[in-house]
Each structure stands twice: as C-alpha cells, then as structure tokens.
Amino acid sequence: MDLFESAGTDEVGIPADSHAPLAVRMRPRTLDELQGQAHLLTPGSPLRRLVEPAEATLHSQPGTRASATSRHPGAALSSVILWGPPGTGKTTLAYLVARGSGRRFVELSAVTAGVKDVRAVVTDARRRLAAGEEYTSPWVYFNHAIGLDAQADRFHRHLRSLPVHPGPERPVSLNVWEAVYFDHDPARLIDLAERAAALGVERYVLDDGWFGARRDDHAGLGDWVVSPEVWPDGLHPLVNRVTELGMQFGLWFEPEMVNPDSDVARAHPEWLMQLDDRLPLEGRFQQVLNLSIPGAYGHVLGQMSAILEEYAISYVKWDHNRDLNDAGTAPDGRPAVAAQTRAFYELLDELRRRFPQVEFESCSSGGSRIDLEVMERAERVWVSDNIDPDDRQRMLWWTSQLLPAELLGSHIASGRSHVTGRWHDLNHRAATAVFGHLGIEWDLARASEEEIAELAWWIAWYKEHRGRLLTGRLVRVAMPDPGVWFKGVVNEFGGIYSLSMLEATPAVNLGVLRFPGLEPGPRYRVRVIERPALAPAHQVPWLNAGHPLELTGAQLMHVGLRAPVLRPATTVLFVVTKV
C-alpha cells in the first residue's frame, strides 16, 4: 500500500487522501489486513459474517422440486453497534464492514453531529436510486470565455435569444409594498396610482395583502381569493382606475407558500411539505405548499386562474419568501425538492398557456428561483427586497454575470432604506436603479415637490435611454479602491457608464477612467450626468469646460479621462455617444 498516493474516495465513500493524517492512511483496507482477536476474524466469526457472502436458499414454488442457493455480499448485515473506548478501532471496523458489504459509508461524529446531520444522511440515502430506477438531472450549462464580461455576454446573448425574452421598452413600474405594506385602503391606493401616472409610470403593482385573511404576514397565505373585508367591491375600482390612467395593472402572488393559519392549510395539512414526523421550522410564519401533490397543484392553479380571468392583469409578481428546508412529502417524508421544482415549472407553463398576455416575474429567493430554466418562463426577476442603492450596486454588478439588465427588477425607494436604515440622495438611488428594469417603491404622497420633480426627470431620462441601457453589452472595470464601482453598457451607438463611490476613500482622486467597449476610430461625445453637481472649484477641469467633450474611441479606451471628484454614496453617469 502506497501511503502517499492521492486517491480521493473509493466507491463506498471511504477517504483515501494523500493529505489525510498518517493514522488514517495506515488503516487496513480489508479484514485480512486487520490484526486482532482471532475469534472475531476467523471464517464464520461475527465480523466475517457481516461482510462476506451469506448463503440464502431459494426454495421452489409449490408443486416443483427445484431449489437453488445464492450468495449475497453482506446479506446478513443489519444494524451494528461497535462499542469501546477511544482508539480501539471502532471507526476502522466500520470502514471495513462498509467496504466488505458494499454499503456506502458516511462518518458522523457523536460529539459534533446532531439530529439535523443524521436526517441529512437519511434524506440523501432516500435519494439514491435502486436498481432500474432513473433520475433526470437539471440542465448543466458550460460557459467558457476569456474574462468575466465575455462570459456574461454569452449568457446574455443566450437569454436574449429565447422566445419569452422581453424587448427593451420595459415599462416603468410602481410597486406599492414599501408605500402601504398590508394597509390596503382603496382610496389611498387609487391616489397613489394617480400620482404615479402623473410622473410617467407605466405599470402599477398591488403587492401582498389583497387576499383572504392576509392583514399581516401571520395568516391567509395560500387563499388566493380577494378579501371582501378590505375590497368589498373586489379589485375592480382599483384595476379600472389604473387602466383608465393608461397603466398596466400587476398583482402579487406567492404560489408555493402557505400560512398554517389559512383555509387551505386547515383543510389539507397533508399538502404542506414535511418530514415523516414533523413540519419544518417556519420561515416568515410560512410553510411550503407541496405542488407535487396533484390536489395542491390544482388548488393554486384554479384560484390563480380565477383571479387572472376576472381582472385585467398584465403582470404577476411571483414571490418566494422562504427556503425549502426539510422538504418532504407526507406521510413518509420522502424528498420532494426536485418534484416541487418541476411542479413550479409546470404551473408557470400552464398559466402562461392560459394567459399569454400576462408577464411573469420570478423571485430571487436567495437564488432558489433564479436559474436558466426559470428564465425560459419569466420576463423578469426581483433581485432583492433590499433596495438600498449601495447594496444594489453590488447586487446588480454580480447578478448581471448571469442575467442582462432588462431582466433585473431595479427600483427607486424612499430616501431612508426600509431594510438597512441608511439615507441616500435621490440621484444616487436613481442613477443606480436605471441599470435594470426601472421601478419605484415609495409612498409618493410623502415625497416633496422637489423630489417629485427630480423623480420625473429620471423617469423621462430612463425612457429616452432604455433602448441603449437594456440591449447593450456589459463592461465592468475593477477599480483599485474597493468602495468604487465602474461599469457600463455599450452598443453600436456608444456606451452609458456609471461611476459610484459607496464609501469614503483615502485617495485624493480616483485616478484615470478608461472606457472599455468602444470602437477605436469614431469620435464620441461625452456627456456627464452629475446631479447635483459639485462646485466648479472642487471638480476636475474638463468637467468645467461648459460643453460636451469629444474624443475618439481609442483615446477614451486607452488614454481615458481623469475621474470626477465624488462624495461617498454618490453616482455619476457618462453618456458616451458616437458623433
């Protein structure tokens, strides 16, 4: 035996690693290498019977005289307890029993492992296929390119080629969640719609709280019926007013989730994902509705279809607010995550077939519902409930590694973030949000006249430039300072670039900016969007020229421009247009 060879793990999961401790590498690999008490190791002894072929007589059927004998490795193996003080070889014996009997070996420490770890081993064992069974895995995509931007471009081109993919004229949205939360007052919501339409908003989205007993997040989830308590005339007054104002109407659902305090959970507790002996821990007072059960699937499909048939709905915000932990099917708790995911795809496919005029958004859910399979069915994703622009700069940077900007829900929230508590200038919030599918999540009745005017300017600017922002190729530049982010979107007309300083830097200035992705020969006009602008005395000289700068693509890419002076939590945009 070579103690220093690298062999990974063998067919039953026993480690054979050249980096393992010497004591592990010196363990015997068979019973013949084991030294110990002869009465435990000789033929017919207890250890030998655990791992060596056991004879089993196969008796003939009544009325025949034939019989046969077969030998099955480890046929006698059932439950075994090896007891003894530390260092007596219990783990080594367990390895040998697993190897000799053809069983998979999983090592758990009784000191550090808990019930959760044991359950994970049992769940994994249930997933393993028996002889003759089959399992179809999800698609695996391989993407090779030189550099992260080139790799992102390949993903983006693939997604933009799909039939479901939307065009660049993405409607500016207002989502009412951070404006009203669960306080659904029809008069207030209609007022919000009128304010939004006056700003140029093109889609109005009613979020959580319109259905069942859903007055807070403790109850009602899973009962997709309009609440007569809150909406005595149904949603018609709001939907009618929104469409009269020329906006699309969107509605929130969370089809995979359910509150235990709901009509559906009380009527069908067996529809909840669960183990064989208990429900998973609640997340946000929620459990998961097991869509792989035909009755649960039919319940959601029927209630959602009824709503989409009754109202003029153009968009569904499909949420997903908890993980699928301990996700099993009653009564035995067999693993159900794969079946749930396929049922989710099937449900979305069927709703799209029934309602082709409806656009669907998928929820990030920590990544659980953003994948390349989902994106064959959804026109947009919600990146995060955290709309803090500092955090969103990072999120958009990395989510764009897979998804192009037109698929990323990107909203302007109120000045103080409802998630982080930080306050940010409106222009920083807006300049961050325009690098996605723009929306607003803000109680506009509380905004000042100055804020309304500034917001209207940004909406108009976005509409003018979304054809470039949402069709181009992503370029990103790693800046020396970790608190500074520089990226852009380029196409045949030029590029739109964003420079953000998220935190203070000890540097006097940010150095030179070089603008990648342009054509070297043509000349480009550089216009800077800096709102509000620094006083000229504090800004770099070329920004004080009083007219747009014109340079060749080669100059902008290879020589560059001195970076503007930025304060922390500010963003400057560069609109670079071919002359």
DSSP assigned state of 565: P
Q: Max alpha carbon distance in the chain (Å)?
A: 108
Q: Tokens at residue 531, please?
A: 């709102």
- State the alpha helices, DSSP H only, in 320-375: 337-354
* Integer angstrom CA distances of residue 290 from 64, 212, 255, 258, 344: 50, 20, 10, 10, 10
Single-letter residue type at 95: Y
Tokens of residue 530, six digits = 């800096």
Catalytic residue status for 390: no
The answer to whether residues 427 and 532 touch, using CB atoms and an 8 Å cutoff, is yes
Pick the catalytic residue from 319, 326, 390, 391: 319
Give the whole-angstrom CA distance, residue 32 versus residue 35: 8
CB of 564 closer than 8 Å to CB of 505? no
**Helical (H) or strand (E) element with 550:** strand 549-552
**Residue 385 is among the residues annotated as catalytic for this protein:** yes
Q: Assign residue 569 a region (left: φ > 0; alpha: ψ between -120 and 50; beta: otherwise).
A: left
> Quick one: 16 exposed, middle or buried, by C-beta within 10 A (0-12, 13-18, 19+)?
middle
* DSSP assignment of 6-22: ---B-TTS-B--TTS-H
Tell me which of 261, 385, 425, 443 is the catalytic residue.
385
Identity of the amino acid at 459: I
Q: Which residue reads 């590029």 in tokens? A: 495
Are 327 and 336 a contacting pair, CB within 8 Å?
yes
Tokens 């946000």: give the residue: 284
Measured N-to-C along each axis, helices 186-199 and 236-244 cross at an angle, to the nearest 10 degrees, of 10
Please list the active-site residues: 319, 385
